[in-house]
Structure 1
Amino acid sequence: METLANLESFVRSAETGSFSAAARLLALTPAAVSRNVAILERNIGVRLFQRSTRKLSLTQAGERFLADIGGNLEALQTAISAVSSDRGEPAGVLKVSLPPTFGISHVLPLLPAFLARYPLIRPEWHFENRQVDLIAEGYDAAIGGAFELTPGVVSRKLAMADIVAVASPAYLAGQPLPTHPSELSRLNGIVMRGSRTGRIRQWLMQDGAGNAATASLNENIVLNDPAAMREAAILGLGVTLLILPDVQAPIQRGELVRVLPDWHADAGALSLYYPSRTLMPAKTRVFIDYMVEAFHRDNV
C-alpha cells in the first residue's frame, strides 16, 4: 500500500503544477516531493507526469488517478486531523491572509475569544495587500475584496465595502465644503496606486437618489496602503477615499469627518475566501463559522 507522503506529494504537485509549490505546502524540499512521486510511479508502474524544465503536466493516466484519489486523500487527511488531538478539538496551524488595515482593526480583535474557544489552533496570519493563491501558497483562508474566484475557491460575505470620502476637521476648516464629487478637485487629494495595475484607482460615486458621478481627486499625495492614506488624512494633508469600516473609528473619535456624506462608491463586499473541499479541516471550518457569525452579529 502506498504511503500518505507519496500520495500527498502527487496530489499537491498536480494541484499546483509544480514540485516546488507542492514542497512549500508540504514543508518538504522539491527533491523530496519529486522523489516521492517517482516512488509512487515506480510502485504502480504508470507515468503520472510529463516533466520538462518549464512545465509539469499530468498524463492521461495521471488525470484519471488524481480524479480517483483526490477526494479520498482529503477524507483521510481530515480523519487524521480529527484524531490528532486527545480531546478531538480543532487543532493545527491556521494560515490566513488579511488586508492590513481591515485585518488589524476588525479581525485581530476577534482572536482572543477565538483562541479561548479553540486553544489548540495556532494562527499564522499574513497581513498583506494582495490576492493570494490559496491552494498554491497553502493558505487555509483569506479575507479581502473582489478576489477572483479561481477553480476550487469559494467565498462568504463578511461586510459591505462602501467607499466614502473623508478628511480631518482641521483641513476642512475655513473652506467651502464640496456638495458634488466633481468638487473634490478643489481639495488636496490622497490617492492610492494599484500594485497590480500601476494606475490610480478611480471611483464612481452615487447618492441616495441614484445620481452618479466620478470622484475627481487630485494626485497630491500617492500612497500604496490604505492605513497610510487614513493616517495622512488624519494629519490634515487632504481628502481621501477609503472603505467605511476602515474609517469608522476615526470618524467616531472626531479625527475624520465624511465629505459628501450622501455619496458613496460601491466596492462590492469584503469576503472570506477558502478552498472548497468535500471534507474541510476542522480548524478551517470553525474559523469560517466564527468569522461569519461575528461579522453578521456586529454588522460591520
Structure 2
Amino acid sequence: METFSSIECFVRSAEVGSFAEAARRLSLTPAAVGKSVAKLEARLGVRLFQRSTRSLTLTEAGQLFLSQVSASLTNIQNAVAHLANAQGRPAGTLKVSMGTVFGRLYVVPLLGEFLRRYPEINPDWHFDNRQVDLIGQGFDAAIGGGFELPPGVVARKLAPAHRVLLASAEYLQEHPAITEPEDLQHHDGILIRSPQTGRVRSWQLTGHSPQHCRPLTLKVRMTMSDSDAACATAAQGLGIALVSMPFAANYLEAGTLQRVLPDWYIDDGSISIYYAEHKLLPGKTRAFVDFIIEQFAEQGLGQRFSAI
C-alpha cells in the first residue's frame, strides 16, 4: 500500500510538474509528497526527477516509468471508485466543472433531485467559463460547449450550442430597420470575449440552409465576458447582443428582448457533458452523466436551446 501511495504521488507530480501542486490535489503536504517520491526512487534504485528550486522534470527513467504505470494507476483507482459505494449505490466526491451562469440556471436546480437519488455522493462543483484539464485536474465530468476534445475524453451531446442576436423593442424602434445580415454593419454590437483568448471571435451567420451563410458585420460597441450581462445591457436599449440561447431563452420568453433577424443564427456546435473514457467508469460519474442526459431530455432543454 505504501508503494501504491508513492506511485500515485509520483504520477501526480509528473502530471503537474510540481510537488506542491500534486500535494494540493492529493490533500497532502509538499514535504510528504517529496518524501514519498524519494522512497520510491530508493526502492527502484533510479532517479525519477531532476529537481531544482524552480522546476521538476522527469529523467529518462522517470519518463519510462510514467508511461508504464500511469494507465494502470488510473484503472486501479477507477476500479476502487466503482466498488466504493454504500449499500450498492454510487458514492464519493463528484468533482464537476461548468460555466458560472449556465450552471446556476440549469444544473444547480437539478441538485436536489440528484442527491435524493444518490445521497452518498458529495458534489464538489466548480463554476468557471474556461475549459478545464479534465484528467490533469482530476475532474470527474464537465459541462460546456465549444471545447476541444483532448485524448482520453469523450463527450455526450446535451443540446445544440446556438447563438442569436437580441435587442430591446426600444432599440429597434429608434434605429434603422434590420431586414438582412448586411444591415447589421450600421448597428452597435454587444459582443462576448472568448474566455480562452480574451478576443472577440469572427462569426458566420447561418440561414435556414446550412449553405446559406453570411459574415456577422455588427460593429463592436462594447464587449463583455458574461452572456447574462450582455443580455441585461441589451435590455437597456444600448445595442444588439450576440449571446448563446441558454442565456437568451429567459429574456425572450419574458419579452424583455426580441430576436433580431430571427431566421438567422450562429451554429457553435453542441453543449455536451464530458468525462474520461474508461472501460470501468466510476459509479458516481456514470450516475451523474446518465442523470444529466435524462434531465435535459425530460425538460426539453435541447429544443429550448435551439435557434431553429
Normalising by structure 1, we get a TM-score of 0.89
The residue that corresponds to 1:258 in the other structure is 259
Q: Are 2:105 and 1:66 aligned?
A: no
- How far apart, in 1, do the equivalents of 2:50 and 2:154 lie? 30
2:216 pairs with 1:215: yes
- Secondary structure at the residue paired with 1:178? coil
Please tell me the residue identity of whatever aligns with 2:278.
R
Q: Which amino acid is the alignment partner of residue 46 of structure 2? A: V
Unaligned runs of 5+ in 1: none
Moved more, 188-197 or 254-263: 188-197
Which secondary structure does the structure 1 equivalent of 2:265 belong to?
Answer: strand
Residue identity opposite 2:162 in structure 1:
D
Partner of 2:113: 113
Which residue of structure 2 lines up, in the alignment, with residue 16 of structure 1? 16
Corresponding residue number in structure 2 for 1:49 = 49
Indicate the SS of the match to 2:151: coil
Mark the CA change 1:175 to 1:60 in structure 2 (over 3 Å): closer, same or farther. Answer: closer
Deviations 1:266-298 (A, max 9, x none): 111122222233432221121112222322442
The reply to whether residue 192 of structure 1 matches residue 192 of structure 2 is: yes
Q: Cα offset for 1:198?
A: 3.3
2:262 alignment partner, SS class: coil
More displaced 10-residue stretch of structure 1: 28-37 or 74-83: 74-83
How far apart are the structure 2 equivalents of 1:3 and 1:145? 40
SS at match of 1:9: helix
1:289 aligns with 290
Task: Report the alpha carbon displacement of residue 175 of structure 1 after superposing the two structures with TM.
Answer: 4.4
Q: How does 1:122-201 map to 2 (within 5 A)?
A: 122-201=122-201
Tell me how large the CA RMSD over aligned residues is.
2.3
Is the 1:10–1:37 contact (alpha carbons within 8 Å) kept by the matching residues of 2?
yes
Question: Which residue in 2 is equivalent to 1:230?
Answer: 231
Question: Following TM superposition, by how much is the alpha carbon of 1:176 offset from its aligned partner in structure 2, in angstroms?
Answer: 4.5
Q: Which deviates more, 35-44 or 50-59?
A: 50-59
**Structure 2: how far apart are the matches of 1:279 and 1:17?**
28
Mapped contact 1:16–1:135 kept (Cα < 8 A)? no
Instruction: Tell me, yes or no, if structure 1 residue 248 matches structure 2 residue 255.
Output: no
Which residue number corresponds to residue 273 of structure 1?
274
TM-score, with normalisation over the residues of structure 2?
Answer: 0.87
**Gapped runs of 5+ residues in structure 2?**
303-308
Q: Which residue of the partner structure matches residue 306 of structure 2? A: none
Distance 2:62 2:256 in 1: 59
Q: Distance in 1 between matches of 2:171 and 2:183?
A: 16
Identity rate, percent? 48
Report the number of matched residues.
Answer: 300
User: Match of 2:73, as an amino acid?
Assistant: L
Check the 8 A contact 1:208/1:263 in 2, yes or no: yes
The alpha-carbon distance between structure 1 residues 116 and 208, as it changes in their structure 2 partners (threshold 3 A), is same
